[in-house]
């Protein structure tokens, strides 16, 4: 069973229970999740041993959230906090660079990786709607670890960018 360490779980609970500092429908999420809380939850993301050191920033998180106007802005404040906490918990799990005996536990190392490690396959599956570009690989990249051409295609459409042609951008543009 998936288990979060106390160092990531406590800030997530704090996010859920705390009162909002901003308007109920703020223009960005900074009224719900501060820079300090973001840094506390993802405390090891900028450690020297993390391949993604310096990549996942608070400012990039806020800017990306603004790109999706309904993310963290729909419903009452409790609902909004749950959505943000769930997103950060999932993406932290997907990008953990922690190991079983990592300092503070493996799940405090979220946002340490920006792409699948090792020598991943091409993850190209025949698909007429989302065809693979020659020579491109569609392995897990980014905080959501997008994999396979049939996921890169729709994600790129949502972002307004051709990720089938350039899947590496997910790991190079925060």
| Residues involved in catalysis | 94
Q: Is the dihedral of CA 25, 10, 82, 36 positive or negative?
A: positive
Which residues 6+ apart lie within 8 Å of 59 measured at CB? none
- Give 7-12 contacts, CB < 8 A, sequence gap 24+: 7/43, 7/104, 7/105, 7/107, 7/108, 8/41, 8/89, 8/92, 8/105, 8/107, 8/108, 8/110, 11/37, 11/40, 11/41, 12/41, 12/85, 12/88, 12/89
Question: In this structure, what DSSP letter does residue 123 have?
Answer: -
Question: Contact, 11 vs 40, CB < 8 A?
Answer: yes
**Residue 30, CB-side half-sphere exposure with 13 Å CA sphere:** 10
């Amino acid at each position: 069973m998936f288990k979060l360490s106390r160092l990531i779980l406590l800030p997530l609970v704090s996010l859920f229970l705390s009162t909002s500092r901003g308007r109920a429908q703020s223009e960005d999420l900074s009224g719900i999740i501060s820079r300090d809380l973001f840094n506390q939850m993802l405390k090891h993301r900028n450690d020297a041993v993390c391949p993604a050191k310096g990549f996942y920033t608070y400012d990039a998180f806020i800017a990306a959230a603004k790109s999706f106007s309904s993310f963290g802005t729909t419903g009452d404040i409790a609902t909004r906090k749950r959505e943000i906490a769930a997103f950060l918990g999932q993406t932290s799990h997907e990008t953990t660079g922690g190991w079983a005996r990592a300092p503070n536990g493996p799940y405090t190392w979220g946002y340490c990786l920006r792409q699948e490690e090792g020598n991943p396959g091409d993850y190209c599956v025949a698909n007429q709607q989302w065809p693979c570009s020659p020579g491109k690989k569609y392995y897990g990249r980014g905080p959501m670890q997008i994999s396979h051409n049939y996921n890169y295609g729709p994600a790129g459409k949502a972002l307004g960018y051709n990720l089938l042609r350039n899947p590496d951008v997910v790991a190079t543009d925060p």
